[in-house]
Amino acid sequence: MPYVKIELTREGVTREQKQELISGITNLITEVLNKDPHLTHIVIQEIDLDDWGYAGEQVSVLREKGITADKK
């Protein structure tokens, strides 16, 4: 029974994006590991920006400085 946990900062990930992640990861596990998709569990946990730190700073502070995780 595969279990995958995805932790993201709470920054407006849409329901559709979450569904795409769940579907894509389930399909990948099915194809690569030959696991039954009905036994595969995907959990998405969103974390407040104040509760996530990187390089000694809260992500909320980094965002205020204009530093984002967006693909360039």
Query: Which residues are tagged catalytic?
Result: 2
- The dihedrals phi and psi of 44, each to the nearest 5 degrees, come to -110, 120
Hey, CA dihedral for 13, 14, 19, 20, is it positive or negative?
negative
In whole angstroms, what separates CA 45 from the centre of its chain?
A: 7
